[in-house]
Amino acid sequence: MATNKILGSKNVLKKAFVFLVLSASFLSLNSQDAFAATGDQKEITSKLVRNVKEVGYDRYYKGDFYSDAGAYPEGMFLVVEKLIENYIAFAHMGDGSYLPTVGQRFEEKIEGQTVKRYVAVSQKKKQGYYCIDIYNDTNDQPIATLTTSLSITKNKNGYFITPKDDIKIVYKGKTYNKQAALNFLGF
């Protein structure tokens, strides 16, 4: 009888050990997939950024901006930041003149756990949106959003993207527009 208990406990230990080994293997594979996906995303973003060309003092996107933004909204966020990094969106606001600076201040002020940066486009309206959503891991809805419209025009040099001054922040049930949004961020 004691022998059966010992053999039974050995089987339980074997099963537990096999379960732990398989679990560790599964987690390892998932983390490798995650790293591979991150590497793929970096490679895609790098290819998209190579489509940014400087002509004179302006920067243009030489690819199909609408298709690329539809297929790679997160990757195109960095492309748009590169396109507009020297463009003064809010001339009256000093430090807050540049949209990437405004986006960075927004992320620092809200301090969410997950930040999603992306570009959304509407080809019919010839317009895009520079978007930053901040989430807590417990919510599927963002706790804060920042959006700014982008003007998109195409000419012989490619797509010319400029931010509009219609910045909008939604946070804790309140909406801050234009100057009020910049004031909210401390500019």
Task: Please report, for the chain, the start and end positions of each structural domain, with discontinuous segments joined by +.
Answer: 1-50, 51-184
- Burial readout 84-94 (b: 16 or more C-beta within 10 A, e: otherwise): beeeebbeebe
In a 13 Å sphere around the CA of 98, the CA atoms on its Cβ side amount to 12
Q: What is the pLDDT along the chain (187 residues), one digit of tens a residue?
A: 554 555 555 554 454 443 333 333 333 333 333 333 456 778 888 899 999 999 999 999 999 999 999 999 999 999 999 999 878 777 666 655 788 888 999 999 997 789 999 999 987 887 899 999 999 876 688 999 999 999 999 999 999 999 987 899 999 999 999 889 988 998 8
Tokens standing for 65? 């901006």
- What is the SS3 assignment for 55? strand
Helices (H), 50-61: none
